[in-house]
């Protein structure tokens, strides 16, 4: 076909697509019931992928890194000719770290934007709000980074490319026990956050199983800014480590107040600490602390170094585990579409469920029968005002 002919052919196709849409060829068929297998997007020359993430709320680096990771993957694939010969078009909606907004964002991405598949959210609490909407509409959803076990239990259209908090809790317990040689830990967690509640519980289970003691469990809420009464109690418990499975945006404050209260022992956290802004406003209060993450940008693996280079050049920041997971989630989705040889949602779902040994930046990804990935975790340290690689813990290293 000549260039011009191809052009008018494409124009004809989009005109047809428009007529079909205007005819009311029920856009509901795009968002048909689970397993109806009828869902492809209305646009004939593009495949729309929706992303929902916190772009402007308290944890906006979660959204920023997710958006960047997915954008990088989309630009690369589009430069290579796209997926199934079509360009990928991204639609991104802000959740502002609010479950109601998350639900609305997903509804819009499906009903208005006609997304073929959805990537998001980061926070488990928000994925738990968005996943049922994807499931009801038969739209495959991949969360790059929600680690709470409940997320993928929302249904067979819900996937993740990261490890679970059952594993992460065991990793941190092992690290506290074997590497830090501690046996007495106090826990301070956010009881308004499903992720934090879950991770506190899984850590406790694993740590006590290893013979460790939990000296006390204190709680806070995401809206709090004064943690001194909890910290005073914790000081009295005389722990060897304080485990704080919260998000990065609170950690500077918590750590500074802890040091002011005379708590000098290391603090330990999970992937929720992962952010280019973790040390912002922390002074040196987080020095000597540790947290688990999904990868380390210091890993000499050439695949990782290539990703770190491309991402940093484009966005001017070193990618944390979150950006790596977002990049991987998008590429897993593209690979599944190619395997499915179709942009049909049910076909994509089936291909996602069969993903085996996908070589991601964040590690090898295989979907298990619960649509979860089994991966290793990296433990990172805060040393000399920098985040550095400490150790890597494999699924086979921990008991769960």
Nearest approach in angstroms of CB 21 to ligand PHE is 36
| Coil vs helix vs strand at 371 | coil
Please report whether residue 43 would count as binding ligand PHE according to CB under 6 A.
Answer: no
Nearest approach in angstroms of CB 147 to ligand PHE is 4
Nearest approach in angstroms of CB 295 to ligand PHE is 10
Compose the 214-253 pattern: x for residues touching ligand PHE by CB under 6 A, - for all others.
----------------------------------------
Interface residue with ligand PHE, options 40, 95, 116, 124 (CB under 6 A): 124
Nearest approach in angstroms of CB 265 to ligand PHE is 24
Please report whether residue 322 would count as binding ligand PHE according to CB under 6 A.
Answer: yes
- Distance in angstroms (rounded) separating the CA atoms of residues 54 and 146: 13
| Coil vs helix vs strand at 206 | helix
- Distance in angstroms (rounded) separating the CA atoms of residues 260 and 295: 32
- Distance in angstroms (rounded) separating the CA atoms of residues 196 and 193: 5
Q: Can you tell me which residue has the tokens 């600490």?
A: 273
**Class of residue 34 by CB neighbours under 10 A (exposed 0-12, middle 13-18, buried 19+):** middle
Residue 12: CB atoms within 10 A of its CB come to: 11
Give the pairing of strands 184-190 and 213-220: parallel
Question: Which residues face 120 on adjacent strands?
Answer: 52
Interface residue with ligand PHE, options 169, 321, 360, 363 (CB under 6 A): 321
Compose the 268-307 pattern: x for residues touching ligand PHE by CB under 6 A, - for all others.
---xx-x---------------------------------
Q: Which stretch binds ligand PHE (CB under 6 A): 34-42, 70-78, 117-125, 213-221?
A: 117-125
> Which lies closer to ligand PHE via its Cβ, residue 216 or residue 270?
270
Question: Which residues face 374 on adjacent strands?
Answer: none
Compose the 134-173 pattern: x for residues touching ligand PHE by CB under 6 A, - for all others.
-----------xxxx-------------------------
Interface residue with ligand PHE, options 123, 131, 343, 351 (CB under 6 A): 123
- Count of residues touching ligand PHE (by CB under 6 A): 14
Please report whether residue 195 would count as binding ligand PHE according to CB under 6 A.
Answer: yes
| Coil vs helix vs strand at 83 | strand
| Distances, alpha carbon 8 to alpha carbons 2, 3, 188, 347, in Å | 10, 9, 63, 30
* Sign of the dihedral defined by the CA atoms of residues 51, 57, 59, 64, in that order: positive
**Class of residue 133 by CB neighbours under 10 A (exposed 0-12, middle 13-18, buried 19+):** buried
Interface residue with ligand PHE, options 55, 72, 122, 176 (CB under 6 A): 122
C-beta of residue 154 within 8 angstroms of C-beta of residue 135: yes
Please report whether residue 378 would count as binding ligand PHE according to CB under 6 A.
Answer: no
Which residue lies nearest ligand PHE, judged by its C-beta?
195
Compose the 44-63 pattern: x for residues touching ligand PHE by CB under 6 A, - for all others.
------------------x-
Residues that bind ligand PHE (CB under 6 A): 62, 122-124, 145-148, 195, 271-272, 274, 321-322
């Amino acid at each position: 076909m000549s260039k011009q002919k191809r052009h008018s052919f494409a124009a004809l196709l989009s005109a047809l697509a428009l007529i079909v849409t205007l005819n009311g060829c029920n856009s509901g068929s795009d968002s048909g019931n689970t397993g109806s297998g009828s869902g492809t997007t209305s646009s004939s020359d593009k495949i729309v992928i929706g992303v929902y993430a916190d772009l402007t709320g308290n944890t906006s680096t979660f959204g920023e890194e997710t958006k960047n990771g997915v954008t990088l993957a989309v630009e690369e694939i589009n430069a290579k000719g796209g997926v199934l010969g079509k360009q990928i078009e991204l639609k991104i909606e802000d959740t502002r770290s609010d479950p109601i907004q998350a639900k609305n964002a997903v509804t819009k991405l499906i009903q208005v934007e006609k997304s073929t598949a959805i990537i998001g959210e980061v926070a488990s609490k928000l994925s738990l709000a968005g996943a049922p909407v994807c499931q009801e509409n038969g739209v495959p959803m991949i969360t790059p980074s929600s680690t709470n076990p409940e997320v993928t239990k929302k249904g067979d259209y819900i996937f993740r490319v990261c490890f679970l908090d059952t594993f992460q809790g065991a990793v941190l317990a092992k690290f506290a026990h074997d590497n830090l040689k501690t046996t007495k830990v106090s826990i301070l967690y956010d009881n308004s956050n499903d992720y934090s509640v879950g991770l506190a519980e899984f850590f406790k289970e694993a740590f006590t199983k290893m013979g460790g003691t939990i000296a006390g469990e204190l709680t806070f809420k995401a809206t709090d800014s004064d943690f001194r009464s909890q910290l005073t109690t914790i000081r009295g418990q005389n722990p060897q480590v304080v485990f704080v499975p919260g998000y990065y945006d609170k950690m500077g404050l918590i750590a500074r107040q802890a040091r002011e209260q005379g708590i000098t022992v290391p603090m330990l956290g999970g992937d929720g600490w992962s952010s280019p802004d973790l040390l912002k406003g922390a002074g040196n209060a987080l020095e000597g602390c540790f947290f688990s993450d999904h990868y380390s940008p210091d890993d000499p693996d050439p695949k990782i170094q290539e990703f770190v280079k491309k991402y940093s050049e484009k966005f001017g920041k070193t990618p944390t585990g979150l950006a790596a997971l977002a990049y991987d989630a998008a590429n897993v989705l593209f690979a599944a579409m190619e395997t499915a040889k179709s942009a049909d949602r049910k076909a994509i779902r089936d291909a996602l469920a069969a993903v085996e040994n996908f070589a991601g930046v964040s590690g090898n990804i295989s979907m298990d029968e619960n649509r979860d990935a089994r991966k290793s975790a990296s433990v990172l340290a805060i040393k000399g005002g920098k985040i550095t690689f400490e150790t890597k813990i494999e699924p086979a290293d921990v008991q769960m």
